[in-house]
Structure 1
């Protein structure tokens, strides 16, 4: 069972948690993080979701992302998701999200990081990720159109 902190509309943590999969009450929100890693060539490290993953199987996605667990800050959630999904350790403690998008049930924090990552050094989480690659803007736009 996965627990998430419940936030109010102003992004203040309440003293409540929510069980993943249950419906949030009106006025309750949760936090989601996304990490986009770029190299010096302007390419983004993208991951391919597993074929058996619920929601968008086999599709390509941002470098890493997921929901913050109860007790997580945005930064600790970003660190955890990046390490869990592709085995990459990055210190986010002094990093603020570059962009936050409000969605119906929460807040999406996006981190944009420049890092020269050697793909063969990554450890992919079997349950989530089947492949990773560097992709240019043109590659990504082409993949979106398919």
Structure 2
């Protein structure tokens, strides 16, 4: 049984927990993290979800992602998910998400990192990930249209690629 912290609308923990799979009450929220790893040529490391996954089996997805469990911060959840799903250790303690998107039942934190990872050094979590590869923005957008990639908004994918080396929403110095 996996427990998640419950947050209020202002992203403050309510000191309540929620069992994964049980419907949240109105006004309760949870935290999800996504880590997108890019290499220096601009490609993103993507993963193919296992065929046994409950949601979107066999679909390609961002590098890693998942819900924060009870007691975790966004940073510790991102660090754990990255290690669990692909065996990569990166310290997130001094990192902030590049982007947070509010959704109906929670908050999605997106971390955008540049790391020239060698695929053969990764250890894939058998229950979650069946394959990984590098993909360009154009390839991911094509895969979304073909129904092979999770159905993210195309403009989100565009933003992840364009904003990977930037902070904020204003261009300039």
TM-score, normalised to structure 2's length?
0.84
Structure 1 distance, partners of 2:90, 2:102, is 25
Q: Distance in 2 between matches of 1:21 and 1:145?
A: 29
Match of 1:118 in 2: 118
Please give the per-residue CA displacement for 1:84-141, whole angstroms capped at 9, x wherever unaligned: 0000001110000000000010000000000010000000000000000000111111
Superposed displacement of residue 14, structure 1:
0.8
TM superposition outliers: structure 1 runs of 4+ over 4 Å: none
Instruction: Find the aligned partners of 1:102 and 1:11 in 2 and give their Cα distance.
Output: 10
CA distance in 2, matches of 1:136, 1:21: 34
Q: Does 1:8 align with 2:8?
A: yes
How far 1:145 moved relative to its partner?
1.1
Higher relative contact order structure (alpha carbons within 8 Å, sequence separation ≥ 6) = 1
Structure having the higher strand fraction is 1
SS, match of residue 141 in structure 1 = helix
2:82 — aligned with what? 82
Q: How much has 1:52 moved relative to structure 2?
A: 1.2
1:1-146 mapped onto 2 (5 Å cutoff) = 1-146=1-146
* Gaps in structure 2 of 5+ consecutive residues: 147-173
Instruction: Give the Cα–Cα distance (whole angstroms) in 1 for the partners of residues 136 and 47 of structure 2.
Output: 13
Aligned residues: 146
Q: Write the distance in 1 (CA, Å) between the matches of 2:44 and 2:34.
A: 13
2:144 and 2:26 mapped to 1: Cα distance?
A: 33
